[in-house]
Structure formats: C-alpha cells, structure tokens
Amino acid sequence: MRSTLLMLMIWTTCCSAAPLVRTDPHPQVGFDFGIASYAFRQQSLDDVILCAKTLNIKKLAIKSMHLPLDSTPEQIAAITRKIEAAGLELYAGAVIYMKSSAEVEQAFAYAQRAGMEMIVGVPNPELMDLVERKVKATGIKMAIHIHGNRKTLYPDAASVYPLIEERDPGLGICLDVGHSIRLNQDPAAAIRKYADRIMDVQLWDSSSASSEGKAILAGYGILNLPDVLEALIDIQYAGTVSVEFWTDPQHPEYGTAQTIGYCEGILSVLARRVTRPINTLTEQEKRDGWRMLFDGKTTQGWRRINQDRFPDHGWAVRDGELCALGHDGAESGNGGDIITLEKYSRFELSWEWKMLSVGGNSGVKYFVLEGLSDNDKHGVGLEYQILDDANHAWMLDGRMEPGDYRTVGSLYEIYKATDKKMKPLGQYNHSRIVCTGTHVEHWLNGIKVVAFERGSADFRRRVQASKFKRYPGFGEAPEGHILIQDHGSQVCFRNIKIREL
C-alpha cells in the first residue's frame, strides 16, 4: 500500500508539472519511444494523451477501443484532431486482425483516414497478396505482429519472415519483445537476424520465459533489456518502440512511466559504452540526406566572410573540434566570422558546441548575405544565440534580464528562447535549426525553444523594433550562408551537419 501511494504521489506531481523533456538525447539512438494504447484499454483516450504528454512521448499506436475500426470519417477526424492538438502523432493502429478481404480493405481505409503511417496487423496468410497491393497503393506500411504463443497465427519473427522476405519493403515485422521472451526466445537475436524487416517494436518486461509470463515492471522480470536496446542501436533501428504495460489496465501509467525511465537509464549507460565517433554520419543519416559541414580535420567547406579563403588566425582545428580562439570578447576582433561555401534555403542544421570563456558570446547565423556590414569581418543574418547567460557582462550589470531575447537559444534581438536547459561551461550542448521555408525552429538539448514565421506580420514588427531595421528585408532572403561567429570568446564546435529539406 505504501509503495502504491508513493507512486500515486509521484504521478500526480508529475502530471501537474511541465512535461518531461530529455535534456541530452542519446545521439547514437535513432528510435523513439511510443505508447501502445491497448495497455489503457480500461481508460479513456484522454488518459492515454495525458500520460504521453507528461512523459514527453510523441507517438501513439492506437487500439480500436480508443478509435473503433467502424468509426465514421467524421469520428476519425475528430479523434485525430484531438491527438494532433496535444502535439502527438498517431503513427499506427495496433493490433488489427484481418481474416477476410473486406477486413483488409477496412483496415487500410481506417489507417488512411487517420493519417497513420503503419498498421500493426495480423492478416491471414492467404491475404498477403492483397495486403501487398494495398501497401503499394497507399504507402501505408504493414508490420505483422507476433504473439508469443504457438497456437496463434504468428508466434514469432521466424513465422513471419518467410512470408514477406521477397515482398515489398513496406511489409515488415512488429517484434513484440515480451511475447518473444514468452516463447523462451532471445528477442535481441531476433532483432539482429531479421533486421531488414523489423518495422515496429512493442516493449514490456515479462515475469517468465513461458506462456505464463505477464507484463511486469521493467527490471523485475527476466528480459535482458540492455541487450534488446543495444541490438536496436546496432541495426540502426529508426522506428518506434511502443511500451505496452498491459497487466494493469486500471493503472497502466505507472508501469509505462517506469519502463520508459528504466530504458532511458540503460541508454545513458550504453551511450558511455557505445560512443559514436565524432564528425561522422551513421548509415541511416546518410540515407536521410545528412552531410557533414566539418570533417573534424580540415576547414574544407568554410571561408571567412567577404573573402575567398579561411582566416589565417583566430580559428583552429584541434582534436576534432573547430574552435574560435577568442580575443578579449571583441566582436569579429580576431579571425572574423566564417561562412559555408554554399547557400541554403530549406534545411535542418545540427551541431554541438561548448563555451570555454566565462561570460562568453558566440552565435550561429543563417540566411546570411555578404556585403551588408560596414565591418567586412562581420556577417548579418538571423542568429541562434550562443551565450554564457549567467556570467555575461550584460546580465551582471542589468542590461539583460534572464530569459530575454539575447540569451542562449534565442533568435537574437527578436524572439526569446523558452524552457531551455543549458549545460555548464566546458560541456557540449546540442543545437538544431529547422527551417522549412518560412517556418523556423530553434532546439537546444532536445527541447524546442523558439518557433517563428519569417516574413509574418509579427516577425516584421519585431525586426522594426530591433537594431536590424536598417537592413531591408532582414531575415527574409530566399537563401543564404550558414555562419559561425567570432565574438572574441573561446568556443568550440563539432558534429556540424546539415540536410536539405
């Protein structure tokens, strides 16, 4: 009773606080966690959404009790709007059984109306030709679910693989980790063996490696979760791992939260054990269109602004880092700002940085055009601010307030960053800029801290109230260079990469 009350207190506190957000996402992990709503079968969809939002889970695999298969288009639209309004993605319907052609047609129509990318399903083997045609026609994937019981249609991955290995890649396997262990099989081995068809993963720890096994709090069962998670990392799995703590349908939020927390702890340990080389891309990143802007060894791809060569002083490449060496805090007082050789318009830019100067200042600018500044070593553009907020001179003398539009992560002078978590001096932070045209987002250590629309009335009003009002059309160029600022502080960068959208 005492432990139940304690968990209830923790859960109540958690739900009334701001949503949890990973401060330091694991860079070697390509997958994300989701929730399989079957575990909440005695609760409402609102309860599922509350749990997901509180745990910062973005993906839902929905079961029919929360969105019936025979729902009208209007009912489906209402449910999907509710889910989207909560900032969640309805990525799959799970699990959907299909014993006839009509049920296959129904499942795909249902998934299409709901905007699902996948059906986690159990189609009869004789329906596989129809399923493949529907996958090709709709673009909706089919992940065939395994159920860990020899009396079921698909007990394990080995029973599914021969049916799909020669078919369209849109057909795959939903490896239910808990059900796999109930057959006394090693799910990590199955992940590696059938890596090319692992399309979805459902996760729960089991009380026994037998048919009597039930979902139990992670770490209290017999599942080797570190092996499972490491196997997913090894195959560069980039899908969703949906937690399904199904044993306690009245209070599934406890087991769901504990399982995700337990897995995050394991991933933190694996991050120290499986360190990815810096300034490199995974095979998945290459497939996704990423490319490095800094190779860790040279300054290839960069030059000083308004010049055709890299600065001969003020910058250095050392130990896989690109470092501004600093010069008494003077803006462009040393080597000057550096820019990419190429220009970009729609892109996602990712990089890591660490500030070494107490009170230091730097920034990454984008949509930078040359020749705008009267200082030919200084570039003008939208700026992702990099700053030691706590120790900057403006903060100390009161010219800057905590959390204003000149602090770290902000669009400098225009939009302030919110909900940010910055690491201490000398530790690497991870930043991203996502620009899909007019829409722009700033991210810091896994948290979206700024979002705005270039060219909007609000954006233009703010520009006119800033020091950038003297630049016509500031920040609205269709394309521009990426710039790293020399602001007289010692700051280092690595893992600088970009993909065009």
How do residues 221-250 score in pLDDT, each as one tens digit?
Answer: 999 999 999 999 989 899 999 999 999 999
Contact between 402 and 389 under an 8 Å Cβ cutoff? The reply is yes
**What confidence score (pLDDT) does residue 4 get?**
41
Q: E strand or H helix at 386, and its extent?
A: strand 380-387
Contact between 208 and 216 under an 8 Å Cβ cutoff? The reply is no
Any idea which residue has 């990423």 for tokens?
Answer: 290
Per-residue pLDDT tens over the stretch 454-483:
999 999 999 999 999 999 999 999 999 999
Residue 478 φ/ψ, nearest 5 degrees: -65, -25
Quick check: helix, strand or coil at residue 261?
Answer: helix
**Count of CB atoms situated within 10 Å of the CB of 82:** 14
Reply yes or no on whether the pLDDT at 1 is more than 70: no
The DSSP 8-state label assigned to residue 146 in this structure reads P
C-alpha–C-alpha distance, residues 448 and 420, integer Å: 8
CATH code of the domain occupying 28-273: 3.20.20.150
Reply yes or no on whether the pLDDT at 21 is more than 80: no
Per-residue pLDDT tens over the stretch 286-309:
989 999 999 999 999 999 999 999
Q: Which of 25-29, 55-59, 161-165, 216-220 has the lowest mean pLDDT?
A: 25-29
Overall average pLDDT of the 239-267 stretch: 95
**Count of CB atoms situated within 10 Å of the CB of 332:** 21
Per-residue pLDDT tens over the stretch 70-85:
999 999 999 999 999 9
Range list of β-strands (E), 12-164: 32-36, 59-62, 89-98, 118-123, 141-145
**What confidence score (pLDDT) does residue 2 get?**
37
**What confidence score (pLDDT) does residue 30 get?**
84
Q: E strand or H helix at 345, and its extent?
A: none
Per-residue pLDDT tens over the stretch 407-449:
999 999 999 999 888 888 999 999 999 999 999 999 998 889 9
Any idea which residue has 């959907």 for tokens?
Answer: 96
C-alpha–C-alpha distance, residues 414 and 283, integer Å: 37
C-alpha–C-alpha distance, residues 249 and 237, integer Å: 29
pLDDT > 90: percent of the chain: 81
Per-residue pLDDT tens over the stretch 366-414:
999 998 888 888 899 999 999 999 999 998 999 988 889 999 999 999 9
Cα four-point dihedral sign 375, 377, 382, 386: negative
Residue spans in the chain of domains classed CATH 2.60.120.560: 283-500
How far are the Cα atoms of 4, 96, 240 from residue 21, in angstroms, in the given order?
25, 31, 17
What is the identity of the amino acid at 386?
I
Contact between 474 and 480 under an 8 Å Cβ cutoff? The reply is no
> For 377-400, b where at least 16 C-beta lie within 10 A, e where not — what string?
bbbbbbbbbbbbbeebebbeeeeb
Q: What is the mean pLDDT of the chain?
A: 92
Quick check: helix, strand or coil at residue 23?
Answer: coil
- Identify which of 233, 225, 215 has the alpha carbon closest to the alpha carbon of residue 178: 215
**What confidence score (pLDDT) does residue 151 get?**
87
pLDDT > 70: percent of the chain: 93
Residue spans in the chain of domains classed CATH 3.20.20.150: 28-273
* Topology of the domain covering 283-500: Jelly Rolls (2.60.120)
Overall average pLDDT of the 354-371 stretch: 95
Any idea which residue has 């002078």 for tokens?
Answer: 413
